[in-house]
Amino acid sequence: MSTPVPGTQRSFDARRRPALGGLNRTFLLIEVRRLLRNRRTVVLTLVVPAILFILLKSDRRGIQLGGTVINPATTMIGIAVYGAMLAATSGGAMVSIERALGWSRQLRLTPLTPFAYIAIKILMAMLLGLTSVLVVYTIGAFSGVEMAPVTWVLTALLAWAASFVFASFGLFMGYLLPSENVMQAIGPTLGIFSLFGGLFIPVNLLPLVMQNIAPFVPTYGVAAIARFPLLGGPFDLAWLISVLVWTAVFGLAAMTLFRRDTRRT
User: pLDDT tens-digit profile of 25-76?
Assistant: 777 777 777 777 777 777 777 888 888 888 877 655 555 555 556 778 888 9
Indicate the SS3 state at residue 63. Answer: strand
How far is the C-alpha of 169 from the C-alpha of 182, rounded, in Å?
Answer: 12
Between residues 28 and 6, which one has the greater pLDDT? 28
In a domain, residue 149? The reply is yes
Query: Quick check: 88 and 130 in contact, CB under 8 A?
Result: no
Residue 198 DSSP label: T
How far is the C-alpha of 163 from the C-alpha of 95, rounded, in Å?
Answer: 16
In a domain, residue 1? The reply is no
Which residues make Cβ contacts (< 8 Å) with residue 230, sequence separation at least 6?
73, 74, 77, 147, 151, 155
In a domain, residue 138? The reply is yes
Containing structural domain, residue 153: 20-263
Q: What is the pLDDT of residue 139?
A: 92
Render pLDDT for 191-229 as a digit per residue (tens, 0 to 9).
Answer: 899 888 888 888 888 888 988 999 999 999 999 999 999
In a domain, residue 119? The reply is yes
Q: For the chain, what is the domain count? A: 1
* Mean pLDDT for the stretch of residues 162-174: 85
Which residues make Cβ contacts (< 8 Å) with residue 139, sequence separation at least 6?
50, 53, 54
* Mean pLDDT for the stretch of residues 85-105: 75
Proportion of the chain above pLDDT 70, given as a percent: 79
How far is the C-alpha of 241 from the C-alpha of 248, rounded, in Å?
Answer: 11
